[in-house]
Amino acid sequence: MATIDLSQFHQTFFDESREGLDVMEDALLKLENGSDDPELVHAIFRAAHSIKGGAATFGFSDVAAFTHVLESLLDQVRDGRRAADEETVELLLQSVDCMRGMLARSQGGAAVADATSEALRERFAAMLGKPAEKTDAVAAAASRKLPVDGWRIQFRPHPNLLRTGNDPLRMFRELALLGKLVVKQVQVLQEPRPAFAELDPAAAMLGWDLELRGDIQRSHIEAVFDWVEGDCDLEIELLHDRRAQAQAAAPAPAANDAAAHADAGSIRVSIAKVDALINMVGELVITQSMLGDIGEHFSMDRLMQLREGLAQLDRTTRELQESVMRIRMLPIAAVFNRFPRMVRDLERRLGKHVKLELHGESTEVDKTVLEKIGDPLVHLVRNAIDHGLETPEARVAAGKPETGVLRLEARHEGGNVVVEVVDDGAGLNRARIVEKAIERGLVRPGQELSDEEVAELIFQAGFSTNAEATDLSGRGVGMDVVRRNVNDLGGSVGVRSRAGKGSTFTIVLPLTLAIIEGLTTEIGSERYIVPLVSIVESLQLKVQDVRNVAGGGELFHFRDEWLPLVRLYAAFGCADAVTRVEQGIVIVAEAGGRRVGLLVDALVGQQQAVIKSLEAHYQRIEGISGATIASDGSVALIVDVDGVVRVAGRRRAA
């Protein structure tokens, strides 16, 4: 009889197990907040039971053994023999975190059980009044009777780790406080190594092999790396395990980096969306059949039928396109659901009381946008709790309730999705921000600044008002990274604040990164598309509206302010373009909180552009975000407004 390869189902098991852990965490937080709904305990038990069954089926015995003990404890809570008190809920939340780590190690092929999981199993067993059975990995270690004299740590940051506001050197300093830290090897992760001129200073390129010697609990080491979970590959193992493997000449299991992360190349699609797509394909087949018949028996008296058929084809194609794009749309709840646990941990750590409100979780955004919006939102939520919301004593003194309110809201506005992070805290500290800006030379002493200009200062690179760096803030890496990440998605971020009332951070993002609405322009013999989301207005200038400034730049007068003028033909090296300002059209565009004017020859019209990446065939071109195929079959490049401003600035400097 043919055997079935169960490994083909492993990815589904890991995906469903992580969803089950999310269900468990959400239900536990509701229990902790005082809910007496008995269905919550049943939901936790069902999720744990499903994970246990799947782990046993696919041979992940350590996961199954851990979940079995957890299930026994949950059974007592479900039957009313044990209260779901604060201690029990806290222990169960720790178990959820532990199981996430065990699943990640299982997926990577590494040893699954560790000191943390065994310590939790022993605590469960003690609560249940029975001895804990050791897993195979722990029993083997015990039989060798090798001393525990430290830990081996393999730390491989992902390229975006620095952009999330984390600092490896700070983490190493914290490790050195636990025991004797030895750097065994430093490895360059990017191969082939880029030339010096091509280095990205914001990208993490080094990995470390460390040894931390001493009698140290694994949980203390994991706590150091808490904030980089998901932004690095981390392996922690006992030093004697490594030596025992060498003595036994048994090769250590190699972790599969590709499998260490959840498969980002698949999404779940509802039956309703699939049915809509099938219906559209059916309509397309009918229209194609009708046009085919007209083509075979064409005569001038059928011209009206031909026009009607082409119009029907156009409608069906657009609806088919919208149906396909809806398949990529996922609810933003997948991102929002991570914050209840984060807020709970932060408020306990900082001694603050925070009420988290989530609105618009069903708002759908493109899968690519969803994957990349998480880090900026994490920064904003951390800052709102750390900087914005006051301590209970300070809030009461200010006449506010001791519990601060933090609201995350998502909604659709036109062709964009808007995400707001709102708090009712103290607002931006205007005096402190201006003082710090003067220290750094960003503004002159005595210079009058509007509220909008003060708010913009916090987005400057390296800007921080904290006098002392902590693991939450004060390192000068944060809001500038938020703006850069949002700009990379073709969006924008802004802030409104009122002293003593709170702050509102607003992120505006395109619904999808695959198709954009754009304005087609001509520059010489070439065509460029400017995204509509960036355009404020277009106008024709007169010669007297333009002023030259020192350094070769130009400014033009627009609605009581002077804006920089960028000649796109110079930025992109276009030949035969209009060079006189009064003969061209200026598009006022906004990017990164700045407005600029883009000089083009003429406006052709508005169109939907299907974005094609250039990086797969060429390389990243600053000022160009991609390309599209125009209706006449020619290639039109899509303008990256923020990149154009940087290119023009370097050209003037040169």
Tens of pLDDT along 331-388? Answer: 888 889 888 988 988 888 888 999 999 999 888 888 878 878 888 888 889 888 988 8
> Who has greater pLDDT, 464 or 322?
322
Phi, psi of 600 (to 5 degrees): -130, 165
115-128 helix and 61-79 helix, angle to the nearest 10 degrees: 30
* Peptide bond preceding 192 in cis form (omega within 30 of 0): yes
Residue 253: the pLDDT is 33
Position 561 scores a pLDDT of 85
Residues 6+ apart with CB under 8 A from 34: none
Predicted confidence at residue 601, as pLDDT, reads 92
pLDDT the model gives residue 278: 87
Please, are residues 232 and 155 in contact by the beta-carbon 8 Å criterion?
yes
Q: Is pLDDT of 261 > 80?
A: no
- Report pLDDT for 428: 85
The predicted model gives 21-49 an average pLDDT of: 85
pLDDT for res 521: 92
Please report the pLDDT score of residue 598 as a whole number. 92
Residue 648, pLDDT above cutoff 80: no
Residues 6+ apart with CB under 8 A from 380: 421, 482, 505
Question: Is residue 168 over pLDDT 60?
Answer: yes
Q: What is the pLDDT of residue 585?
A: 92
Q: What's the confidence (pLDDT) of residue 250?
A: 34
pLDDT of amino acid 553: 80
Q: Report the pLDDT value the prediction gives residue 87, as an integer from 0 to 100.
A: 82
pLDDT at 550 over 80: no
pLDDT tens for each residue of 593-615? 678 899 999 998 888 777 776 76
Q: What is the pLDDT of residue 396?
A: 92
- In what order do the strands lie in the sheet containing 403-413? 353-359, 403-413, 416-423, 502-510, 492-498
DSSP string, 214-270: SS--HHHHHHHTGGGTTSEEEEEEEHHHHHHHHHTTPPPPPP-TTTSS--TT-----
Whether 455 has a pLDDT exceeding 50, the answer reads yes
Contact 180, 213 (CB under 8 A): yes
The more confidently predicted of residues 102 and 9 is 102
Domain 146-253 has CATH 3.30.70: yes
Closest to 171 measured CA to CA, from 118, 220, 104? 220
- Please report the pLDDT score of residue 359 as a whole number: 92
pLDDT band at 148, cuts 50/70/90?
low
User: What's the confidence (pLDDT) of residue 140?
Assistant: 44
For 515-653, give the CATH class. Answer: mainly beta
Q: According to the model, what pLDDT value does residue 262 have?
A: 39
pLDDT at 647 over 80: no
- Measured between alpha carbons, how far is 215 from 412 in angstroms, rounded to an integer? 53
Q: What is the pLDDT of residue 130?
A: 58
What mean pLDDT value characterizes the chain?
79
| Contact of 569 with 622, CB cutoff 8 Å | no
The confidence score (pLDDT) of residue 1 equals 43
416-423/150-157 β-pairing: unpaired
pLDDT digits (tens, 9 = 90+) for 274-310: 888 888 888 888 888 888 888 888 888 888 888 888 8
| pLDDT at residue 435 greater than cutoff 90 | no
Average pLDDT value for residue range 494-503:
87
Average pLDDT for residues 454-474, to the nearest whole number?
A: 63
Q: Is 408 a residue whose pLDDT tops 90?
A: yes
Query: Quick one: CATH architecture of 1-143?
Result: Up-down Bundle (1.20)
Confidence of residue 457 (pLDDT cuts 50, 70, 90): confident
Name the pLDDT band for 466 (thresholds 50, 70, 90).
Answer: low
Give the pLDDT mean for 215-222.
80
Chain-centroid distance of CA 188 in Å reads: 25
pTM of the model: 0.59
Query: Is 88 a residue whose pLDDT tops 70?
Result: yes
Q: Are strands 502-510 and 416-423 parallel, antiparallel or unpaired?
A: antiparallel
In this prediction, residue 255 carries a pLDDT of 33
Confidence band of 496 (pLDDT split at 50, 70, 90): confident
Domain 331-510: CATH superfamily, name plus number: Histidine kinase-like ATPase, C-terminal domain (3.30.565.10)
pLDDT band at residue 26 using 50, 70 and 90 as cut-offs: confident
Please give the full DSSP string across 259-298, using - where no structure is assigned. TSS--TT-----HHHHHHHHHHHHHHHHHHHHHHHHHHT-
Place of tokens 């939450």: 472
Q: What's the pLDDT score for residue 615?
A: 62
Domain ranges of the chain: 1-143, 146-253, 271-327, 331-510, 515-653
Phi, psi values for residue 231, rounded to 5°: -110, 15
d(CA 462, CA 510): 27
Q: Indicate whether 571 pLDDT > 70.
A: yes
pLDDT at position 144 over 50: no
The Cα–Cα gap between 120 and 70 comes to 9
Residues 6+ apart with CB under 8 A from 158: 204, 231, 232, 233
pLDDT above 90 coverage of the chain, percent: 9
The predicted pLDDT at position 77 comes to 84
In this structure, of 352-366, 450-464, 484-498, the range with the lowest mean pLDDT score is 450-464
How confident is the model at residue 592, as a pLDDT? 58
Contact 521, 604 (CB under 8 A): yes
Question: What is the reported pLDDT for 620?
Answer: 67
What confidence score (pLDDT) does residue 43 get? 87
Q: What is the mean pLDDT of residues 246-255?
A: 35
Residues 6+ apart with CB under 8 A from 331: 361, 362, 363, 364
Q: Which residue has the higher pLDDT, 127 or 143?
A: 127
For residue 390, give both structure tokens: 């006051």
CA–CA dist 534, 491 (Å, integer): 8
3-class DSSP string for 103-139? HHHHHHCCCCCCHHHHHHHHHHHHHHCCCCCCCHHHH
